[in-house]
Chains A and B, each alone.
Chain A
Amino acid sequence: GDSVTQMEGPVTLSEEAFLTINCTYTATGYPSLFWYVQYPGEGLQLLLKATKADDKGSNKGFEATYRKETTSFHLEKGSVQVSDSAVYFCALDNTDKLIFGTGTRLQVFP
């Protein structure tokens, strides 16, 4: 069945460092891909999405490109801030539901 695999965390970075969180997927057809973010004590919020191959989703300095050839949707940010500390979930749309990865915790220190 369809699935999403994310890199294990936590990812620990200093402020202004470059961030990459890897995400690969297995799916039949051409799903839409999403990154959701969960700040401490809160629900998930959509960060960005891409609906077809080679699409780039972007928001708040974060970017991810839908790579069909490598079945990947890696999340990147050029310069992280302390306020980016959160758990990040990669997900794909499968008919009637979202299929989530296990989440990657990001900790950014000043």
Chain B
Amino acid sequence: EAQVTQNPRYLITVTGKKLTVTCSQNMNHEYMSWYRQDPGLGLRQIYYSMNVEVTDKGDVPEGYKVSRKEKRNFPLILESPSPNQTSLYFCASSLSPGSGSTDTQYFGPGTRLTVL
């Protein structure tokens, strides 16, 4: 089954304690992306990756890191989480990026993060 998986689904942590949210897709997609969803703000892109070893900042990258060592995996790293990073996070992937791309983006089930 084609899917994007994220782990963990729920996480409560404390300020400053490093954490990683994993994302994996089994569709051989080149493009992967992380979003955060906040009430009244919709989804905002954090980072994206066009392919292995190619990553770039989205709209709200501060406080986050990513890596793309393998095509299927795109982990999101919070080196020193703060309460303003409490949010619902989604990973997404699609076949190809690029201007005017109409490829469907496939979303993971989401990770609800609470930083105390």
Smallest beta-carbon distance B45→chain A, Å: 5
Among A42, A51, A89, A97, chain B packs the most CB atoms within 10 A around the CB of A97
Interface segment out of the listed A10-18, A77-85, A98-106: A98-106
Smallest beta-carbon distance A36→chain B, Å: 8
Number of B interface residues, CB 8 Å?
Answer: 27
Q: Name the residue of chain A whose CB is nearest to the CB of B99.
A: A95
Q: Name the residue of chain B whose CB is nearest to the CB of A102.
A: B42
Smallest beta-carbon distance B78→chain A, Å: 20
Please indicate the chain B residues that have their CB under 8 angstroms from the CB of A95 in the complex.
98-100
- Contact check, A89 vs B42: say whether CB atoms are below 8 A apart: yes
Which B71-116 residues sit within 8 Å CB-CB of chain A? Answer: 90, 92, 97-102, 104-105, 107-110
Interface residue B21 (Cβ < 8 Å from any Cβ of A): no
Interface residue B41 (Cβ < 8 Å from any Cβ of A): yes
Per-position 1/0 for B20-46, Cβ under 8 A of A: 000000000000010100001111110
Show 11 residue pairs from A and B whose CB-CB distance is below 8 angstroms, ordered by the A residue.
A32-B100, A32-B101, A42-B109, A43-B109, A44-B90, A44-B92, A46-B104, A89-B43, A96-B48, A97-B48, A100-B44
Give the interface of A toward B (CB within 8 A): 4, 29-32, 36, 41-46, 49, 51, 89, 93, 95-98, 100-103
New contact pairs (11) apart from A89-B42, A96-B98, A98-B45, CB-CB < 8 Å: A31-B100, A41-B109, A43-B90, A44-B43, A46-B104, A46-B105, A51-B102, A97-B33, A98-B43, A98-B105, A100-B44
Give the interface of B toward A (CB within 8 A): 4, 33, 35, 40-45, 48, 50, 56, 58, 90, 92, 97-102, 104-105, 107-110
